[in-house]
Amino acid sequence: MITIVFEIIIARQLIWIFKGITTVKINATEIIVQKNIASFNKYKSYYIEEIEAISIESLFFIKALNKIPLFGKAYTGIIANFKKDSESIVITYRHKQIELLDSLTKDEADLILNKIKYFLDKDN
């Protein structure tokens, strides 16, 4: 029974990562990232006032490869050159670095970053 529950949780996480339609709503108080999939709906919410930093990073999901001696940075660089949608919006939220959105083009990432920065500046 425990393994079945564990497999369901893993399957839902994999579906969250690879499938679905992502919707982002940004307002003066929070950022809501919602992913709709036929079988379920999942959302994550982040309060604007608790965001400590925000940035755009290329290939955030394979950032650990940079720590591999000699080949890590070269491998990440090669992927970045061929992958057009490799940008991620990364926030520091409650002292943790969180990837808010991934697989964005540079223009999409800039647009979302500017919108979030607008509300961050407005809040201060």
pLDDT, tens only, 23-43:
889 998 999 998 877 667 778
Q: Which long-range contacts (CB under 8 A, 24 or more apart) does 8-16 make?
A: 12/40, 12/42, 15/39, 16/42
pLDDT for 81 beyond 70: no
> Cα dist. 95→98, 107, 109 in Å?
9, 27, 22
- What is the reported pLDDT for 61? 64
Strand partners, 31: 26, 46
Q: Summarize pLDDT for 45-72 with one digit per residue, the tens.
A: 999 999 999 998 876 666 665 666 666 5
Residue from 35, 56, 34 nearest 45 by CA? 34
**Whose structure tokens read 């990073």?**
57
- What is the reported pLDDT for 69? 64
- What is the reported pLDDT for 75? 62
Residue 70 parent element (H or E): none
**Whose structure tokens read 């800039």?**
110
Overall average pLDDT of the 5-25 stretch: 74
Query: Which domains does the chain show, CATH number per domain?
Result: 2-123 (2.30.29)
pLDDT band at 92 (very low <50, low <70, confident <90, very high): very high
